[in-house]
Amino acid sequence: MAGNPMDLGGTTVLVTGASSGIGRDTAILLSSLNARVVLTGRNRERLQETLVRLDGEGHRVAPFDFNHPEEISDWLRSLTVDAGPLNGLVHAAGVELISPIRFVKQQDAEEVLRINLLSSIMLVRAFTQKACHSTPSSIVLLSSVMGTNGAPSMSVYGASKAGLIGLAKSLAIELAPRQIRVNCVTAGCVQTEMLDRFRDLLSVEQFQALEHAHPLGLGTARDVAHAVAFLLADTGRWVTGSTLAVDGGYSAQ
């Protein structure tokens, strides 16, 4: 009988944004698939809450603030000295900005682009350091349907997420000779704390319209996590440079 092609036994995967939402559910799912998971995010206490929910052993917490991309290289090099080279990277950390363009302040736009896009560039750069990854390996960047479909008040956030898609395509070609695959998942609206904050900014009618824009309804963090696991595992061994929409049909309209 053939083994499970999604089994991640013997691999070490770094998951950013693992203190909540998609990052947390992804880490939990990967542990159930036998991966050893390194959890990172800004809040150690919330990372510990994720840690106790993981299956198996050998997982660890490594807090880091991606608002400081210039420190990523040294941090990741130090991390892999202890954890060993990484087989996978899931970059789910990010921030949102919901604002009409006329109200956008430069410092706010710079923060979103720094955390969502620049940190991704520097994290992949650090990952490609010889001692930081094994081969073959897989990188999954969490983008958003706001990077492919326009929406009012989402221009800066959408620009940062669209950048990830372009980044993944070029990196996929550049890193293929080194057996590093790079893909994006564009998530629709899933039921997380971020969505709860978004709901507070909308009227009842506006939120209902948002729900109706997803033909299959709003998703869950686990729906997105399943796609991430597919791309990390042998099931995605021939997939690179792709943008996988996990959005309940939002982008199909």
**Helix pair angle (106-113, 155-175), 10° resolution:** 30
- When pLDDT is averaged across residues 151-163 and rounded to a whole number, the result is 93
C-alpha distance from residue 247 to each of 74, 145, 148, 186, 190 (Å): 35, 7, 11, 7, 8
Rounded to an integer, the average pLDDT of 228-245 is: 98
Give the residue-averaged pLDDT of 38-50: 97
Give residue 215's pLDDT. Answer: 93
**Distance separating alpha carbons of residues 23 and 19, to the nearest angstrom:** 7
pLDDT of 199 > 70? The answer is no
Q: How confident is the model over 80-105, as pLDDT tens digits?
A: 999 999 999 999 999 988 899 999 99
Q: Which of 64, 66, 127, 157 is catalytic?
A: 157
pLDDT value of residue 150: 87
157 carries an active-site annotation: yes
**DSSP result, 176-240:** GGGTEEEEEEEE--BSSHHHHHHHHTS-HHHHHHHHHTSTT--B-HHHHHHHHHHHHSGGGTT--
Report the half-sphere exposure of 179 (CA within 13 A, side-chain side): 9
Q: Is the pLDDT of residue 181 over 70?
A: yes
207 — phi, psi (to 5°)? -70, -40
237 versus 200: which is more confidently predicted? 237
| Residue 194 pLDDT grade (very low, low, confident, very high; cuts 50, 70, 90) | low
**For 14-27, what is each residue's pLDDT tens digit?**
999 999 999 999 99
Between residues 123 and 153, the one the model is more confident about: 123
Per-residue confidence band for 198, with pLDDT thresholds at 50, 70 and 90: low
